[in-house]
Amino acid sequence: MALIDDLALAAAAEVEAIGLATDSTTEVTGGSYTRLAPTYAGSASGGKVDITAALEFDGPANTEVTHLIFETAGGDIFRPVATPRSFNSDGRLNLTSAEITVALAS
């Protein structure tokens, strides 16, 4: 497991910012929305690493988010969320997990 844990940490180190999207290509706009820099845990387990603190986004009220955007030097990676969430009526959305998982193909 040490190798996949190291790979998960290496992948997390490449993430410069996390953004939100309304589909697989369209980033949220409006309100005070901006991408935020995450802090990932310093260790991984089972090839998984997650953020250590919630990211508190401000944006357009009641807008549904279906994808996370992982910003890296190599470009943006859009990943669907398990359950879509919406900004609340005050335009707040707290992201509590942005897990990165690495697995070796068999």
Residuewise pLDDT in 10s, the chain (106 residues): 699 999 999 999 999 999 999 999 999 999 999 999 999 999 999 999 999 999 999 999 999 999 999 999 999 999 999 999 999 999 999 999 999 999 988 7
Contact predicate 69/40, CB 8 Å:
no
Residue of 13, 27, 34, 36 whose CA lies nearest to 63: 27
Angle, CA of 48, 49 and 51, to the nearest 5°: 150
Distance of CA 46 to the CA centre of its chain: 19
Distance from C-alpha of 94 to C-alpha of 52, rounded to nearest angstrom: 13
Distance from C-alpha of 38 to C-alpha of 75, rounded to nearest angstrom: 16
